[in-house]
Amino acid sequence: MSAVIIGIEGTMLLAQEAALLHRPFCAGVILFSRNYSSPAQLKRLCATIRAQRPDALICVDHEGGRVQRFRDGFTAIPAMGAFGRCFDRRPLLACELAEAAGVVIAYQLRQFDIDFSFTPVLDLQDPASGVIGDRAFHANPTVVVLLADALRRGLRTVGMIAVGKHYPGHGRVVGDSHHTLPQDPRDADEREPDRYPFIRQIESGIEALMPAHIVFPQTDHRPASFSPVHLAELRALGFDGAIISDDLDMAGALDITDPAKRIQAALDAGADVTLMCNDFTAIHQALTRRYFHRDADASARRLAALRDQPFDAATLEPAYHAAQEKLRTHAAQLL
């Protein structure tokens, strides 16, 4: 039973990393800029991962803007906030461009046998959050929903699932959970606008969600990523997709010092799988341990739905080129 998606060190799969892929609780690999030097290299790396573990999840943070891990040889996707600014002037065009961006992201990643990107960001745009900022589409939750819907249409055109983040909303919270454990003291009524995009995406069938390493003390003293209260709330809203923890190496997760206990705490809270991205010692240590899911069969089903959807590059090529052309033609609208 898979429990953790791991980061790897460089542009080639090391022998000890190949061995980790065969551990029963390893779910797959998340890739970063350190794992990329060229398209040819990325193709070799993904093929090597698949040869070691055909059912591995291969994923990446490839949102666009400052969070785009692969650049040389890939289309530069604007930050999602650019689509929001365009929406304020030309809402129909903004949705068309967001859909085109989804097609380009998915097509370019799927060519390398990468299953999915962690996108879209469903947080609200607010100057209070430097870490989110223009990664968010807009400050208006209804606009976030419309643009996220459009991006997801583009992803689905190419057979890629979406992962919405960071539930129940990071955009209006001061502090970066990469470096600290932020707190949001607002009550549920005050946070309703932040939750709105997630609720609407659940209603429209989003396949996966990522909870935030943020404490909401009015609800629970634990970060949302470790909170049975928050993750049960997702299920109560009707969400039956995969819950994927944010990186358990981040400072917002380090109140639990033992990496294996961190993984188990997230699973106990209701996550289907976790991420451990950058602490390679912790990754090796964690994969020597056993883990237990609250509902192993349901988690296995949810994770299987994220894997390798059918992809026919030749059939999808016209849609891809049309999407690229739309983004090129209207690039000035996204400045």
CATH for 131: 3.20.20.300
- To the nearest 5 percent, what fractions of the chain are helix, strand and coil? 45, 15, 40
The Cβ of residue 320 has, within 10 Å, a number of other Cβ atoms equal to: 21
Structural element, H or E, at residue 60:
strand 57-60
**Arithmetic mean of pLDDT, 149-157:** 97
Nearest to 65 by CA among 77, 74, 57, 55: 77
Question: What are the C-alpha distances in Å from 308 to residues 74, 111, 195, 248, 275?
Answer: 20, 11, 29, 25, 19
State the total domains in the chain: 1
Q: Which amino acid is at 225?
A: S
Please compute the mean of the pLDDT values over residues 189-211 and round it to a whole number.
96
pLDDT grade, residue 182 (50/70/90)? Answer: confident
Q: Is the pLDDT of residue 59 over 70?
A: yes
Catalytic residue ranges: 178, 246
Neighbours of 107 (CB within 10 A): 25
How many whole angstroms separate alpha carbon 37 and alpha carbon 304?
A: 29
Dihedral sign for Cα 118, 124, 129, 130, please.
positive
45: containing domain: 4-334
Please give the structure tokens belonging to residue 120: 């879209």
Please give the pLDDT value at position 87.
98
Q: What is the mean pLDDT of the chain?
A: 94
Kindly report the pTM of this predicted structure: 0.95
- Looking at this protein, which amino acid is placed at residue 210? M
Nearest to 62 by CA among 17, 8, 114, 27: 114
Task: Flag whether pLDDT at 251 surpasses 70.
Answer: no
Q: What are the backbone angles phi and psi of residue 279, rounded to the nearest 5°?
A: -95, 95
Please, which pLDDT band fits residue 181 given cuts at 50, 70 and 90? confident
Confidence of residue 254 (pLDDT cuts 50, 70, 90): low
